[in-house]
């Protein structure tokens, strides 16, 4: 479980790919001096304490712990690792993603997580430094600033830093996939810290709950121009949902307003946790999803394009894991609904002309332009969502859904690479348009005639890949 080339990894890669070599371990009865000497010899910043018989990790000792004990004038020869190590151990399964590890570290304010295999045995240690190698130096500094923020002023400043970093990386030629992942990751850290600080101002119910992300944020596909799409899921006894909802709503309104202050506009469609319809118990969310799956109404289809891309951002992730498992088990049987979704997705065709290279839409406000979101990236997003739901693929990101489908033999492995590259080329053009500070309404639009010859050619080929992907959907549902 070692890796030699982190440049090939993304935040969606498994933690196993980031584990480097066999972890350094010590028994509970090892003295502090012996442990420090071992760390020095092995050139590591942490050592895992394991039970001698089972080999299971029970604690971790880091250089921060050493400084604490030295400052307290501890006896390095007398103190044992069982007393010196941090026993509030954070562990993640090796199949967890690098992104999950980064979010846990940011949330808990720690610098290491212990990675275990399927049986709970120690597999390795991943540090913040390992993850930061996948990001830019600016991303590391902003993560630290978010973690140490104590008020809204610090978070507002961090949000502005995220936008500046993204614009700089775009100008330096960073590809769309790692850039959108970085934007989403840093925005998640920011939101999680904002939720923590806001929670101090409210007496929240003592029940399990989780903040949800929908839409582009749920897919890890945020661009430079994005509003809020969020909700809350909570666990409560039957018949008590309304009382708990009323307890959460003031907190949710404060979070939505503070996110707006950080540069994330309030959703015009009110897809926010402060909307009572989106602050629901786990049973209510299942009921809502079930009602959509049984309906083919335009509103149900629209809801599917937003809410079916949900993922947890902060809180008890088990609630969302259970909801996702239920949806994946239920959706494949809703064949009529999936067919309606497919028909709806195919109503938007790639803007390819019969005579000219491109077909422009009929926008009076923005003539001779193409909407790269509605007529571009959306085509890939919609097909990936439908096929993922039909085939039990748990991922929410478009590229990860397509890769998951390919691994199951539902898409050709050679074809899927071209499809994903095409999707991200369109995303790159969207980011570039947004960076230019274009007027409202033009953030996702482009005039192909203003592109250079190469970009114009690639854009045309990208739309051909979208058409090819739609043909796969058309064949699947015989439309």
CA atoms within 13 A on the CB side of 316: 14
pLDDT at residue 7, rounded to an integer: 47
In a domain, 1, yes or no: no
93: pLDDT strictly greater than 70: yes
Residues 150 and 79 in one domain: no
d(CA 118, CA 91): 12
Residues 263 and 286 in one domain: yes
pLDDT at residue 104, rounded to an integer: 80
pLDDT at residue 54, rounded to an integer: 83
376: pLDDT strictly greater than 70: yes
Spatial CA neighbour of 435 closest among 145, 178, 96, 172: 172
Task: Please say which residue of 276, 311, 331 terminates a domain.
Answer: 331
CATH number for the domain harbouring residue 261: 3.30.460.10
The pLDDT confidence band at residue 235, using thresholds 50, 70 and 90, is very high
Residues 127 and 49 in one domain: yes
Residues 55 and 189 in one domain: no
DSSP state of 202: S
Residues 268 and 199 in one domain: yes
Task: Please say which residue of 281, 310, 331 terminates a domain.
Answer: 331
Q: Do 476 and 387 touch, CB atoms closer than 8 A? A: yes
Residues 260 and 381 in one domain: no
pLDDT at residue 42, rounded to an integer: 85
What rounded mean pLDDT belongs to the chain? 87
pLDDT, greater one: 139 or 250: 250
78: pLDDT strictly greater than 80: no
pLDDT at residue 133, rounded to an integer: 64
What's phi and psi for 188, nearest 5 deg?
A: -65, -45
328: pLDDT strictly greater than 90: yes
Residues 298 and 184 in one domain: yes
Residues 242 and 193 in one domain: yes
Residues 428 and 295 in one domain: no
pLDDT at residue 4, rounded to an integer: 39
Q: How many domains does the chain have?
A: 3
Residues 268 and 142 in one domain: yes
Q: What is the mean pLDDT of residues 16-42?
A: 84
CATH number for the domain harbouring residue 22: 3.10.580.10
pLDDT at residue 315, rounded to an integer: 93
Task: Please say which residue of 331, 349, 364 terminates a domain.
Answer: 331
Least-confidence region, from 220-229, 234-243, 253-262: 220-229
Rounded (to 5) percent helix, strand, coil in the chain: 55, 10, 35
pLDDT tens for 241-261 read 999 999 999 999 999 999 999
pLDDT at residue 103, rounded to an integer: 76
d(CA 185, CA 99): 7
pLDDT at residue 136, rounded to an integer: 53
Q: What is the mean pLDDT of residues 128-142?
A: 69
275: pLDDT strictly greater than 70: yes
Domain of residue 462 covers 337-476
DSSP state of 374: I
Asked whether the whole model's pTM tops 0.85, one would answer: no
d(CA 450, CA 457): 12
Tokens linked to 288 = 């809502």
CATH number for the domain harbouring residue 462: 1.20.120
Least-confidence region, from 171-180, 230-239, 328-337: 171-180
Q: Do 307 and 214 touch, CB atoms closer than 8 A? A: yes
In a domain, 26, yes or no: yes
pLDDT at residue 3, rounded to an integer: 39
In a domain, 298, yes or no: yes
pLDDT tens for 35-70 read 888 888 888 888 898 888 888 888 888 877 777 655
């Amino acid at each position: 479980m070692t890796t030699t080339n982190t440049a090939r990894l993304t935040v969606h890669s498994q933690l196993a790919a980031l584990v480097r070599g066999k972890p350094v371990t010590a028994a509970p009865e090892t003295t502090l001096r012996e442990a420090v000497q071992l760390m020095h010899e092995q050139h590591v910043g942490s050592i895992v304490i394991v039970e001698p018989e089972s080999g299971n990790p029970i604690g971790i000792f880091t250089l921060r712990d050493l400084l604490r004990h030295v400052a307290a004038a501890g006896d390095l020869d007398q103190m044992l690792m069982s007393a010196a190590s941090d026993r509030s151990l954070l562990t993640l399964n090796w199949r967890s993603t690098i992104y999950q590890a980064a979010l846990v570290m940011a949330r808990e304010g720690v610098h290491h997580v212990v990675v275990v295999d399927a049986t709970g045995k120690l597999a390795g240690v991943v540090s913040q430094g390992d993850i930061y190698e996948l990001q830019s130096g600016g991303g590391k500094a902003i993560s630290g600033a978010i973690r140490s923020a104590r008020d809204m002023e610090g978070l507002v400043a961090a949000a502005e830093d995220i936008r500046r970093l993204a614009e700089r990386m775009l100008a330096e030629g960073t590809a769309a996939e790692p850039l959108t992942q970085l934007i989403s990751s840093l925005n998640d850290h920011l939101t999680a810290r904002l939720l923590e600080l806001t929670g101090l101002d409210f007496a929240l119910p003592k029940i399990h709950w989780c903040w949800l992300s929908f839409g582009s944020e749920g897919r890890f596909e945020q661009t430079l121009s994005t509003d809020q799409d969020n909700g809350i899921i909570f666990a409560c006894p039957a018949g008590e949902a309304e009382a708990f909802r009323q307890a959460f709503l003031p907190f949710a309104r404060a979070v939505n307003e503070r996110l707006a202050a950080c540069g994330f506009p309030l959703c015009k469609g009110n897809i926010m946790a402060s909307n009572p319809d989106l602050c629901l118990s786990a049973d209510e969310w299942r009921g809502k999803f079930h009602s959509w799956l049984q309906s083919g109404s335009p509103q149900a289809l629209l809801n599917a394009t937003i809410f079916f891309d949900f993922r947890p951002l902060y809180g008890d992730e088990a609630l969302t894991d259970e909801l996702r498992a239920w949806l994946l088990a239920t959706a494949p049987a809703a064949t009529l609904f999936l067919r309606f979704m497919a028909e709806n997705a195919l109503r938007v065709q790639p803007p390819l002309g019969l005579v000219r290279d491109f077909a422009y839409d009929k926008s009076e406000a923005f003539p001779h332009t193409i909407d790269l979101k509605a007529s571009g990236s959306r085509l890939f997003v919609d097909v990936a969502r439908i096929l993922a739901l039909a085939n039990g693929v748990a991922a929410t990101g478009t590229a990860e859904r397509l890769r998951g489908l390919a691994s199951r033999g539902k898409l050709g492995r050679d074809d899927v690479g071209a499809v994903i590259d095409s999707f991200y080329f369109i995303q790159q053009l969207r980011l570039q348009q947004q960076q230019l500070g274009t007027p409202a309404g033009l953030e996702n639009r482009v005039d192909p005639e203003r592109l250079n010859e190469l970009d114009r050619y690639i854009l045309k080929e990208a739309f051909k890949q979208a058409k090819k992907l739609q043909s796969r959907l058309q064949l699947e549902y015989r439309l």
